[in-house]
Amino acid sequence: MVVGVHRPTQLVIDRQALHDNIQAEVTRLASGCELFMVVKANGYGHGAVQVAQVAKEAGATGFCVAILDEALELRAAGFNEPILVLGVTEPEDAPLMARQHISATVAATDWLVAADAYLALAQPTAPLQVHLGLDTGMGRIGFKTTAELTTAVTYLATHATLNFEGIFTHFATADSPDETYFKQQVAKWQALTAVLKKRPRYVHVSNSATSLWHAACNDNMVRFGVAGYGLNPSGTAIPAPYALKPALSLTSQLVHSKQVVAGESVGYGATYTAQQTEWVGTVPIGYADGYERRLQGFHVLVDGQVCEIIGRVCMDQLMIRLPHDFARGTRVTLIGRDGDHVITLQEMADYCQTIHYELACGFTSRLPRVYRH
């Protein structure tokens, strides 16, 4: 997709905010505990390479991504830190990962057997670094029993193509005030890992929520994601131990303004009809940019004033009701602060009945990412 550089609509990423959030967490960690910044999905929409750079400056010592291509992007950008792919990769890519020093998440011994065959053929100079994933209740990927885990650990110990670098699990409810399920997962984690005769280099269980609210579980590495971007993983359920600074703003400009009279309608389906004479402005952003169609009735800031989105959000444009005429080129803030008002991704997510994670990584590549500070 082309990047819309000739349109006045952009995501603005505040590097200082990213830095402050990540550094605040690094400072809180027990000594010997490392922070790997999670930059999957293009850094939750913020730009993976740029976020990785700031994270490194703020004290992150490694990165986590979801898919191999995201790890390769970081390597191509020159990062030499450890990178863990959190999702299941293809065993045929094991030699590529070994050569690039990219660590694989492994969830089944048959994966190791298949990868070993490819590694034995390709003979990369280094073994493949393996993190065993344990399914303690997330129900997504990982070993579930001590028998399965023991088989995998034995296989790793007896195959020089593979190195047992890490072991981890992932919590389903670390962002919830109710700790019942979380405690069940901790108990399963402890029971499973009790069979290990030797600890690997990295032992890790914490996403942002776990590190923020259950830091005693952290062990020697945390996979820090959403909170680094300044977003509270619980939404509004649990306050963060320090002020999280949202790093992302979304700004545009009015490209058109006009008066409509009572009875005139706006947008597809003519779902909005003016009851009186009013000013209507047009903003060049739509659902093709990841600005959800469900946001009809939500609001934006025009020169710091709250204005309602009227009519359906189109693919590339949306219309708003203005308190009076504004000049073409007037600043429009869709996410962020202008004067006394602020619109947060959290408010938008609440309005859309989803979570800020989904909106942040839903912004498409048509929106330029501009970096400040």
Q: What angle do CA 97, 49, 99 make, to 5 degrees?
A: 15
Residue 264 exposure: Cα atoms within 13 Å on the Cβ side: 12
> By C-beta, is 104 or 295 nearer to ligand PLP?
104
Tell me the closest approach of the beta carbon of residue 85 to ligand PLP, in angstroms: 10
Strands 221-224 and 202-206: parallel
Chain residues in the site for ligand PLP (CB under 6 A): 38, 40, 86, 170, 207-209, 223-226, 233
Of residues 227 and 319, the one with the C-beta less far from ligand PLP: 227
Catalytic residue among 40, 44, 155, 357: 40
Comparing CB distances to ligand PLP, the nearer of 87 and 124 is 87
Check 44, 144, 155, 268 and give the catalytic one. 268
Known active-site residue 197: no
Q: At its nearest, how many Å lie between ligand PLP and the CB of residue 30?
A: 18
Please state whether beta strands 305-310 and 299-302 pair in parallel, antiparallel, or not at all (unpaired).
antiparallel
Nearer CB in complex with ligand PLP: 103/252: 103
Q: How far is the CB of 260 from ligand PLP (least distance, A)?
A: 43
Q: How far is the CB of 134 from ligand PLP (least distance, A)?
A: 11
The DSSP code for 91 is G
Output the CA–CA distances (angstroms, integers) from residue 155 to 93, 111, 163, 200, 226, in the order listed: 19, 11, 10, 14, 35
Cα gap 209→233, rounded to integer Å: 6
Check if 40 is active-site: yes
Q: Beta-carbon neighbour count of residue 65 at 10 Å?
A: 27
Nearest-approach distance from CB 46 to ligand PLP, in angstroms: 12
Q: Which spans in the chain are helix H?
A: 15-28, 40-44, 48-58, 68-76, 94-99, 109-122, 146-157, 180-193, 208-213, 345-352, 356-362
For residue 182, which of 204, 135, 214 has the smallest C-alpha distance?
214
Among residues 4 and 225, whose Cβ is nearest to ligand PLP?
Answer: 225
Residue 82: strand, helix, or coil: coil
Which residues form the catalytic set?
Answer: 40, 268
